[in-house]
Amino acid sequence: MPLNDIQRAEVAAIRETTQPTYREVAPALEEILYKPIPLLDHGFIRVIDYMGTDSAIVQAARVSYGKGTKKVSEDAGLIRYLLRHRHTTPFEMCELKLHIKLPIFVARQWIRHRTANVNEYSGRYSIMDREFYVPAPEHLAAQSVSNRQGRGDVLEGEEAARVLEILKEDSKRAYQHYEEMMNCTEEGVVLDEGKQGLARELARMNLPVNFYTQWYWKIDLHNLMHFIALRADPHAQYEIRVYAEAMLDILKRWVPTTAQAFQDYRMGAAELSAQGLDVIRRRLRGEAVTQETSGLSKREWEELMNVLGA
């Protein structure tokens, strides 16, 4: 379930109460505030709070020059200039706080982005939910033969059915043993009055990494865009990519001008090396450049040709 009963009651109570504010808000983001966006089979993202909008970026950038409010078109031009030339500090003036529910193996990959403030659900103090991730059949792929961290062809037939069976059986068995070691159920009901039960902080070690965890994750806009650029990329792992794509939609609601510039100059752009740029210049002059005469490795050449659509 996306939210438990207590969380749903909290959301309903908060959304029923409105407060006047002097700060600038993002109306499109306010529409989804606190609401969970379902992801994978049991996961979600929901916006808890935010600080700043597109205008906060402009305000921070212009403070050095002592200029006042400009026209919307001029503000957009400034934001695009800042992003295009990698002036990152003004984007750090905006922050976003998210509540995220995700599989543990995705969380371990996610935490490599050490530019956020994180507070995770504790299996030492609370009992872990009986919820675990099982890939949809179309995402059950074999190991790629050309990429050590990628996927190949989708498994089919009996092979796929057996993998799904193993994943489900192992997860259910692990949780059953987790409850048995603690001598209580997920709801806290004691199984055997005569047993003390293992400490929660020890019992949890037997749970596999496809079980779900939750955390609050607060990050500034500059580092959020860096996260999205890496994790919404088609080469990123599917399970973390769906979260990054949802965050891109949140970005569009929050700071639409910045989001458009980000898509133009980061998501939809390509970075060229000095050698790659030289290849393009030589080709524009009519020179027949090959990989052997380009100064690029075979892999770099293939990447450049993919960018050029050649």
pLDDT band at 184 (very low <50, low <70, confident <90, very high): very high
pLDDT band at 1 (very low <50, low <70, confident <90, very high): low
Is pLDDT at 72 greater than 90 in this prediction? no
Q: What is the end-to-end Cα distance of the chain in Å, rounded?
A: 47
Q: Assess whether pLDDT exceeds 50 at residue 66.
A: no
Of 42-56, 133-147, 258-272, the poorest mean pLDDT is in: 133-147
**More confident of the two residues 147 and 75:** 75
> If you average pLDDT over residues 138-155, what whole number do you get?
78
Domain 5-133+210-267 has CATH 1.10.10.10: no
For residue 31, pLDDT beyond 50: yes
Is residue 64 scored above 60 in pLDDT? no
Measured over the CA atoms of residue 270, residue 275, residue 277 and residue 281, the dihedral's sign is: negative
Bridge partners of 218, per DSSP, are 97, 117
What pLDDT was estimated at residue 70?
Answer: 59
pLDDT-wise least confident of 17-21, 43-47, 234-238, 249-253: 17-21
Residue % of the chain over a pLDDT of 70: 95
Lowest mean pLDDT among 103-107, 152-156, 160-164: 152-156
Considering the candidates 200, 204, 231, 253, report the single residue annotated as catalytic.
231
Length of the chain, in residues: 310
- Which residues, in sequence order, are bridge partners of residue 151? 143
Q: Give tens-digit pLDDT for 276-306.
A: 999 999 999 999 999 999 999 999 999 999 9
- Greater pLDDT, 141 or 264: 264
- Please report, for the chain, the start and end positions of each structural domain, with discontinuous segments joined by +: 5-133+210-267, 274-308
The yes-or-no answer on residue 231 being catalytic is yes
